[in-house]
Amino acid sequence: MSLITVNNLVRYYGHQRAVDDISFTLKTGDILGFLGPNGAGKSTTMKMLSGNLAPNEGEIYICNFDLLDQPKQAKSEIGYLPEQPPLYKEMTVDEYLAYCAQLHNIEKQLISDAIKLAKTRCGLMETGRRLIGNLSKGYQQRVGIAQAIIHSPKIIILDEPTVGLDPNQIHEIRDLIVELGKEHGIILCTHILPEVEAVCNRVQIINKGKLVYDANMDDLLATQAKGLHEITLLHPPSIEQLYGTAEINKVEQLNKNTFMVHTTNRTAEDIVHAAVANNWGLIKVIPHERTLEQIFVDLTLGDEKLSEAKP
Of the candidates 270, 219, 226, the residue with the CA atom closest to the CA atom of residue 250: 226
Cα(first)–Cα(last) distance of the chain, in Å?
Answer: 49
pLDDT tens digits, one per residue of 21-33 = 999 999 999 999 9
Q: What are phi and psi of 232, to 5 degrees?
A: -120, 130
pLDDT at 195 over 80: yes
- For residues 226 and 268, the answer to whether their CB atoms sit within 8 Å is no
Q: What pLDDT digit, counting tens, does each position of 202-242 carry?
A: 999 999 999 998 888 877 666 555 677 889 999 998 888 88
* The domain over range 2-215 is classified in CATH as 3.40.50.300: yes
Region(s) of the chain under CATH 3.30.70 = 226-304
> Per-residue pLDDT tens for 99-113?
999 999 999 999 999
pLDDT digits (tens, 9 = 90+) for 134-150: 999 999 999 999 999 99
Query: Helix or strand or coil: residue 267?
Result: coil
C-alpha triplet 234, 311, 250: angle, nearest 5°: 60
Instruction: Output the CA torsion 238→244→250→251 (10° steps).
Output: -10
The sign one gets for the Cα dihedral 236, 240, 244, 249 is: positive
One-letter amino acid identity for 228? L
Burial 22-54 (b: 16+ CB within 10 A, else e): bebbbeeebbbbbbbbeebbbbbbbebbbbeee
Higher pLDDT, 215 or 62: 62
Task: With CA atoms as reference, report the closest residue to 53 among 64, 42, 63.
Answer: 42
What pLDDT is stored for residue 305 in this prediction? 46
Which pLDDT does position 192 carry in this prediction?
84
Helix, strand or coil, per DSSP, at residue 251: strand
Return the CATH class of domain 226-304: alpha beta
- Contacts of residue 304, defined as CB under 8 A and 6 or more positions apart, other chains included, come to none
For residues 178-198, average pLDDT: 90
Q: Which residues contact 97 (CB under 8 A, 6 or more apart)?
A: 114, 115, 118, 119, 143, 146, 147, 150
Give the rounded percent of residues in the chain with a pLDDT score beyond 90: 56
- H/E stretch holding 222 reads helix 217-225
Q: In what order do the strands lie in the sheet with 248-253?
A: 248-253, 258-263, 228-233, 282-287
Find out whether 28 and 202 touch, Cβ atoms under 8 Å: no
CA–CA gap between residue 275 and residue 68 (Å, rounded)? 60
DSSP 129-178: TSBGGGS-HHHHHHHHHHHHHTT--SEEEEESTTTT--HHHHHHHHHHHH
Listed in order, the ranges of the chain carrying CATH 3.40.50.300 are 2-215
For residue 8, how far is the Cα from the chain centroid?
Answer: 20
Distance CA 64, CA 67 (A): 9
**CB hemisphere CA count around 8 (13 angstroms):** 3
